[in-house]
Amino acid sequence: MTKFLDSKFVKKISEITRESYEHGWDERNGGNVSLRIDKADLAGFSDITEVKKTLDLGFDATPLAKQYFLVTGTGRYFRNVINQPTLDLGLVQITSDGQKADLLWGFEDGGLPTSEFPSHLMTHIERLKFDETQHVVMHCHPTNVIALSFTQDLDEAHISRLLWKMQAESLVVFPEGIGLIPYMTPGTNDIGKATAAKMKDYRVVMWPHHGIFGVGSDLDETFGLIETVEKAATIYSQIGAQGGKIKQAITDEQLKALAKAFKVEANPAFLK
C-alpha cells in the first residue's frame, strides 16, 4: 500500500508552494492553497483511513459534503512545505452535514487549515456549480498586482483592460478579465462570500491592498493564471520606472484579433 506522503498530490503542492515563495508572492506565512481530490484518486493509500480530529468550519459547506481537500495550514510558511509536508499540509474530508471537516492526514504537530479555508470552500462551491473540472483555489500576494490597487481606480473594466494591454498573453489567458472586491478584513466569512460571488464571472479576483485569489482545474493552470496576471502588472510597473510614457500600445482592434485567433471570448463589457 502506498503512503499519501508519496502521492503526486503532496509532491505537486509542495513544488508549487515553494515556487510561489521563490516568486516573492508568499512572504512569511502569507498565501494558501487548497486542492480538491476526487475520491477515486485516493484509493490505495494506506494512511488516510483514520479520522485524527474533527474541525468546525464556521459555515455550511453542505454542497461539498464528503469531498476531500488537501490544504495548507494556518501560520505555515510556504518555503517550508517542501521539507515538512506532514506538518504544513492536511488532507480533510467535509462531513456529511457540511458543518465540519475530518482530518485524515497531515498537520502532525497539531496544526489547522489556513484561516482562509472558508473562503476557499465558498469559492469551490461557486465554481463547481458550472465547472466540474474545478479543483484548485490559490491565494497569494503578488507584489505588482497589489501595487496596482494603490495607484489605479478600483474598477474591473479599467484594471482588466490595463492588464490585457500589457502583453499579448493576457487576454488569451484571462479573457473574462479580473474581478474586484472592496478592501475587507481577511480570514472572515464576509470576504469569502464576496470572493465567491465574483467567482461566478471571473477566475481571478483581486483583494485590494492584499493579494489575489485564483482558481483552476489543476495546480499548474492556477499558478500559471496568477503568474500571467502578475507578469502584466510587472510590465506596467516597469513602464512607470522607465518614465511612464507609453509611445505605442496594444489597441482594442488588436485585442479583438487576439481573441479571434485564439478562439476565446473577451468580456464584452470590457471590449466592445
pLDDT at 1: 67
Q: What spatial distance separates the first Cα and last Cα of the chain, rounded to whole Å?
A: 56
Question: CA 113, CA 116: separation in Å to the nearest integer?
Answer: 8
How far, in Å, CA of 67 to CA of 143, rounded?
33
Annotated binding site: 139, 141, 210
Rounded to whole angstroms, the Cα distance separating 165 from 255 reads 8
In the three-class reduction of DSSP (H, G, I as helix; E, B as strand; rest coil), residue 28 is classed as coil
pLDDT tens for the chain, 272 residues long, are 689 999 999 999 999 999 999 999 999 999 999 999 999 999 989 899 999 999 999 999 999 999 999 999 999 999 999 999 999 999 999 999 999 999 999 999 999 999 999 999 999 999 999 999 999 999 999 999 999 999 999 999 999 999 999 999 999 999 999 999 999 999 999 999 999 999 999 999 999 999 999 999 999 999 999 999 999 999 999 999 999 999 999 999 999 999 999 999 999 999 98
pTM over 0.85: yes
Question: Taking the CB of residue 261, how many other CB atoms lie within 10 A of it?
Answer: 10
Q: DSSP for 180-244? A: E-----TTSHHHHHHHHHHTTT-SEEEETTTEEEEEESSHHHHHHHHHHHHHHHHHHHHHHHTTS
CA–centroid distance for 190 within its chain: 17
Question: 15-50 pLDDT, tens per residue?
Answer: 999 999 999 999 999 999 999 999 999 998 989 999
Q: What pLDDT is stored for residue 126 in this prediction? A: 98
For 58-97, give the DSSP string. Answer: SS--GGGTT-EEEEEBTT--HHHHTT-HHHHEEEEEE-TT
The residues carrying an active-site annotation are 116
At 118, the amino acid letter reads P
pLDDT at 256: 98
Q: State CA 34 to chain mean position distance.
A: 8
Binding residues for Zn(2+): 139, 141, 210
Q: Which three cell numbers stand for residue 156?
A: 474591473
pLDDT at 272: 81
Kindly state the helix (H) or strand (E) to which residue 139 belongs, with its residue range.
Answer: strand 136-140
Non-local (6+) Cβ contacts of 251 within 8 A are none
Let me know: does 270 contact 160? Beta carbons within 8 Å: yes
Longest Cα–Cα distance in the chain:
63
